Structure 1
Amino acid sequence: MEEYIFARRRMGMKFGLDRVRKLMAAAGDPQRSYRTVHIVGTNGKGSTTAYLAGILQEMGYRVGRMTSPHLLHYRERAAVNGEWIPESEVVEFVETFRDSIEQFRATFFEITTVMSAWYFRKAGVEVVSAEAGLGGRLDATRLLDGGITVFTGVEIEHRRILGPTEAAIATEKVAMAKEGSILVAYTQKPEVEEAIASAVAGRNLRRVVPEPSPFAPLPGGYQPLNAGLAVAAAGLLSGRPAEEVLEVFRNSGRSFRWAGRIDLREGEPPVLFDVAHSPGSMAGLIEYLGRERALPVPAVVGFLEDKFWREMTLQMKGVFEPVVATTPLNERSLPAEILVKEFRRHGIEALCQDDIGKAMDTARGMTRDLLVVTGSFFVTGEAMLHAWRCGWIRLPERGEEPHQLFRSGRDVDTPEMTDL
C-alpha cells in the first residue's frame, strides 16, 4: 500500500486546504479527538518535535509524533509513543479511503497527514507533536486542531512557494497559529520580528519567548534553543512549571536518540550522519566538527537541486576533503556529476559516484578515523541503511536496529527489521 501512496507523488505539490479538508472529513475529522502542538520553521523542526514528544511521553501522555520527510522508512512519519504506524494500519487506511483519495485527488503529503491523524485517534492519542511540511498557511497539517504553535526560526528556502525574503517566509510559517492561540518563539532578527508582531496583533496571539534549555540530548550548538522551545511548549500544554518540565526532560533525554542529526555511529570507520540541507544547518554541523575533530575529514555529500547547494559547497572548503559526490534518491536530486564540478571549482578534492552505496564503499577506503555523510535526508538515510546492512557500522544498544534509531522518552518495543 505504501507503493500506492508513493505513486501520488507524481501529482506533485498542490497547495491549498480544500482537498485535505475533504479527505479529513471523510475520515471523520479525527484531528478533533486530541490536542496538537505545531512545530514550524526552517531548521530544527524535527528535533524540536521529537524533544516535545519525549517530554510529554515521560509525563505519562499518550503521544502522537508526526514528522517529515522520513529518513529510513515511510512509516516513521507517524509514531505513537515512539512506535511507528504498523504496516497493517497503512493498508487499512488506504483500503478504507481509497475512493475518497481518488475523488478528491489527494496528494502524497495530504494522504500522509490524514492517515496520521486517523491513526492517532484509533491509537487513543491524547496529544500530537506535529512537524509542519513547508508551511504554513496552506500546509496540510494546519487542519490539525492546534492551540500552540512553536516557531523555530527561518532562513531563505522554497522562495517560489514561501516568498523571497525571511520576513515573507516567517509570515507564511507563523500563519499556522490560529486565532487566539499561543505562539512560542525566540526573539528574531528585526524583519522577522516585524512579521511575528503583525501576526500576533492581527490574530490576537499570545507570544511566549522561552529560555534556551541548559540540557539538550543531541550535540550541536543550536540544540539548547530547540530544547528550550520544546520545554516551553510542554509546560504550556501540561500546566507544569518550567523547573519540573526540565527535570522530566532530563529523565526522558537519557534514552533519547534522533537518527541523522549529528548522529555518530561507531564502526570501521566511525560515521557521522547529519541531514543538514541548508546553509544554516550546515553551519551547525561545521561548528560541531570544528570543535570536536581535526579538519578536514572525508565526506559523502549529495543535495537536492532546489537547495542552496552552491553556498553549501563553499562552506565545506577546509572542512570536508576528499568528498565523494553522490545523487540523492529523489526526483529533485542534483546529479553527482554537477556537484563534483562545483567542489573542484572551489579547489576541493572530489570524486563522483552516482550510486549512494558505492559512494559509501569508496569513501570507506579513504579513512580509518571518521567519515561524514550529509547534504540531504535522501542521502543520509540510504547511506545509513547501506552501512548497517554491510555490517561496517555498529548499532550497539540492546541489539539496536534501524527502527530503534528514533527513540524518545521511555524505551519502547519496535517492529522487526524485516518490516523494512
Structure 2
Amino acid sequence: MNYQSSLDFLLQALPMFQRVGASAFKKDLSNTLKLCAHLGDPQTRFKSIHIAGTNGKGSTAHSLASVLQEAGFKTGLYTSPHLKSFRERIKINGLEIPESEVISFVEANKSFLLALKPSFFEMTVALSFDYFARMGVDYAIVETGMGGRFDSTNIIHPILSIITNIGFDHEQFLGDSLDKIAFEKAGIIKENVPVVIGQTQPETTEVFQNKALENKASLTFADKSIQAKFNGYSTDTSGKRRIDYDIVGSSIGLQKVQLDLLGSYQAKNLPGILSALGILNEMGLQIDDKQVSAGLANIVKNTGLKGRWQILQENPLTICDTGHNMDGIQEIVGQLMSLKQERQLYMVLGMVKDKDHQKVFEKLPKEAIYIFCEADQPRSMPAESLQTLAAGFGLNGTVVSEVNAALADAKRRASAEDLIFIGGSTFVVAEINEL
C-alpha cells in the first residue's frame, strides 16, 4: 500500500463522525479496547494528560505541548479534527506522524481492522497510541473528540485530567442541558488522578464535585485562584504578533505572559493551562518560568496549530477561526467588534446542518455584510438554505457557494481598511487555500 491508499482506507472504508455525523457515534469503548489489546495496549506505555471540554480544549492541548517541548520533554500530541492533513492529528514535538507510519499501521493491521470494523476515530486513536508508545514519548497530550465518557481516547489512565469549559454543542449526543453535557465530559475523571476545571459554572460545579469525590480525585477550579487579563497586543523583533496578559494568582509565579494565539478568548483558557502546569510541577516535572513563557509565546511555531484566530492578510485585515458553536461564536464576535471601529465587517459564513443555527444567528452582528458558502462535504448546509435561515434573523447577504470563491468575493468588495472574517464551521476554515 502507499500513503494515499492507506489514508483512503482510514477515511472511507469505515464510518467517520466528521464526515457522516450521527451514524459514526458510538457509546461504547469496546472496539478501542480490543484494538489496543491487539496492539499490545500501547496506552499503558506512556504518561498522558487528558483534555476534554466544549471550547478551548485544542488550544489548551497545544499550549501544554508547546511548554513541555520547551522544557525538553519528548511530547506526543493527539488532537482532532485536522484541517489540511490527516497527519496533523498525531504529532511528536510538533512534527506530524510520517506517512510511512500510517502505511505500516494499516498494512500490519488491515485484516484485524476489517474484521473488527472500528470507526475512523477508533482507528486513529489506536494509531496514535501505538506510535507514541513505539517512539518512546515522555508525555502525550490527548484531546477528546466531542465527549468524554464514551470517547475513544478514554481508555487511558492519565496523570492529569483537564476540562476546559462546558457549553452547548453536539446536544443530540451529549444532552440538552449543561449538567448533562458536563456529566459526559466528566467521564475522563479517573481514580486518584488530579483534575483541573478551567471555568467555574454554576450549572456544572456539582457534577464535577460528585465525580471527583466518587473517584477520590483532587479537584481544582482554576479560575477561582488564577485570573488572566488581556493587556493588549505586541510584536517581537521579527514583527510577529502576540497578545499580552497580566496573570494573578498562578502558583508558578509568572505575572505576565505572551501568547502567539491571537484570540482574546484565550484569557479563559489560561487559568486552566497555568493551573495544570502548577500541578505538573508538584509532580516533579520542574518546568521553570522561562520555559513556560517561551512555550506560550511560541505555540504556533512549536506545534503547528492552525485556524485559531489566524490572520490571513493585513489589508484588508482577514481573519479565520474554527469556533462554530454558540459560545465560540460569541467570543469571536466580541473580538471582531473590538477591532471593527469604523470598518465595514464582511462575514464569510458556512455551517453544518446538525447545529443549533438559531443560537448562533442570535450572536451574529446584523450590520455585517454576509457572504454565505458551504464546505465540500456531506454535513454542510447548502449556502442558499443558510442564507434563507439567516435572513429570518436580520442577517442579509449573498451566496457564493465555494469557500475560496466566497473569500475572494469579500476581498474584491472590501477596502484596505475593512475587516473580513471567515468561519462558522471547521470545514469552512479547512478549505481556505491560504491557511
Q: TM-score with structure 1 length normalisation?
A: 0.87
Pair 1:330 & 2:377 matched: yes
Aligned to 2:130: 118
Q: Which runs of 5+ in 2 are unaligned?
A: 1-5, 17-22, 229-246, 248-256
Q: How do 1:230-245 residues align onto structure 2 when only pairs under 5 Å count? A: 230-239=273-282, 245=288
Measure the CA separation in 1 of the matches of 2:107 and 2:185. 33
Match in the other structure for 2:109:
97
Q: Deviations over 1:3-33 (max 9, x none)?
A: 1111123662223100010001111111111
Distance 1:143 1:225, change over 3 A: same
User: Following TM superposition, by how much is the alpha carbon of 1:246 offset from its aligned partner in structure 2, in angstroms?
Assistant: 4.5
> Equivalent residue for 1:399?
none
2: CA distance, partners of 1:21 / 1:2 = 22
Map of 2:296 onto structure 1: 253
How far residue 307 of structure 1 moved from its aligned partner, in angstroms, is: 1.6
Question: Structure 2 residue aligned with 1:212, among 204, 216, 227?
Answer: 227
2:348 — aligned with what? 300
Q: Is the 8 A contact 1:216 1:223 kept in 2?
A: no
The equivalent residue for 2:398 is 351
Between the aligned partners of 1:170 and 1:247, the Cα distance in structure 2 is 35
Q: Aligned residue for 2:423? A: 374
Is the 1:304–1:376 contact (alpha carbons within 8 Å) kept by the matching residues of 2? yes
**What amino acid sits opposite 1:309 in the alignment?**
H
Task: Say whether residues 1:12 and 2:29 are aligned partners.
Answer: no
Alpha-carbon distance, 1:314 to partner = 2.7
**Aligned partner letter, 1:232:** S
Instruction: Kindly indicate whether the alpha-carbon contact (under 8 Å) linking 1:51 and 1:227 is maintained by their aligned counterparts in 2.
Output: no
- Superposition pairs for residues 257-336 of structure 1, below 5 Å? 257=300, 258-266=305-313, 269-294=316-341, 296-318=344-366, 321-336=368-383
Query: Are residues 1:339 and 2:386 paired?
Result: yes
The structure-2 alpha-carbon separation of the partners of 1:246 and 1:296, relative to structure 1 and needing over 3 Å to count, comes to farther
Aligned counterparts of 1:79 and 1:373: Cα–Cα separation in 2: 27
In structure 2, the residue corresponding to 1:133 is in which secondary structure?
A: coil
C-alpha distance in structure 1 between counterparts of 2:285 and 2:133, whole Å? 29
Asked whether the 8 Å contact 1:271–1:370 carries over to 2, the reply is yes
1:68 counterpart residue number: 80
Tell me if structure 2 keeps the 8 A contact 1:231–1:246.
no
Distance of 1:4 and 1:139 partners within structure 2: 22
Amino acid in the other structure paired with 1:373: I
Of structures 1 and 2, the one scoring higher in RCO (CA 8 A, sep 6+) is 1
What is the Cα deviation at residue 179 of structure 1?
1.3
Counterpart Cα distance in 2 of 1:253 and 1:160: 35
Give the residue type in structure 1 aligned to 2:362: L
The separation in 1 between residues aligned to 2:127 and 2:389, in whole angstroms, is 41
Indicate yes or no: 2:146 matched with 1:134: yes
Per the alignment, residue 45 of structure 1 pairs with 57
| SS in structure 2 of the partner of residue 22 of structure 1 | helix
Q: Distance between the aligned counterparts of 1:232 and 1:160, measured in 2?
A: 32
Deviations 1:64-86 (A, max 9, x none): 01111111211100010001111
1:59 maps to what in 2?
71
Give the match's secondary structure for 1:365.
Answer: helix
For 2:198 and 2:299, locate their aligned partners in 1 and report how far apart those are by CA, in whole Å.
Answer: 24
Q: Is the contact between residue 296 and residue 318 of structure 1 (CA under 8 Å) also seen in structure 2?
A: no
Q: Secondary structure at the match of 1:39?
A: strand
CA contact (8 A) 1:303 1:333 kept: yes
Partner of 1:396: none
More strand by share: 2
**What amino acid maps onto 1:206 in structure 2?**
S
Q: Cα offset for 1:361?
A: 2.1
SS of 2:27 mapped into structure 1: coil
| 1:213-236 per-position Cα deviation (integer Å, ceiling 9, x unaligned) | 433512334312312212222332
Preserved CA contact (<8 Å) 1:55 1:245: no
SS in 2 for 1:106: coil
Q: Pairwise CA RMSD of aligned residues?
A: 2.0
- For residues 167-200 of structure 1, what are the alpha-carbon distances to aligned partners after superposition, in whole Å with 9 as ceiling and x for unaligned? 0110110111111211101452222011111101
Change (3 A) 1:382 1:270: same
Q: Residues of 2 paired with 1:159 and 1:39: CA distance?
A: 19
In structure 2, C-alpha distance between the alignment counterparts of 1:280 and 1:189, rounded to whole Å: 13
Asked if the contact 2:200–2:221 (Cα under 8 Å) also holds between the matched residues in 1, the reply is no
In the comparison of the two structures, how many residue pairs are matched?
A: 385
Q: Would the aligned equivalents of 2:308 and 2:322 in 1 still touch at CA under 8 Å?
A: yes
Q: Is the 8 A contact 1:297 1:370 kept in 2?
A: yes
Gaps of 5+ in 1: 389-401, 403-420
Q: Which amino acid in structure 1 is aligned with residue 324 of structure 2?
A: H
Tell me the secondary structure at the aligned position of residue 199 of structure 1: helix
* Conservation of the 8 A alpha-carbon contact between 1:235 and 1:242: no
Q: Secondary structure at the match of 1:292?
A: helix
Cα–Cα, structure 1 residues 49 and 187, in superposed 2: closer, same or farther, change >3 Å? Answer: closer
Give distance in 2, aligned partners of 1:206 and 1:173: 17
Residue in 1 that maps onto 2:270: 227
Q: Distance in 2 between matches of 1:242 and 1:19?
A: 34
- CA deviations on 1:305-356 (whole Å, 9 max, x unpaired) are 112222222321235x221111123322111111111222233331112221
2:112 corresponds to which letter in structure 1?
S
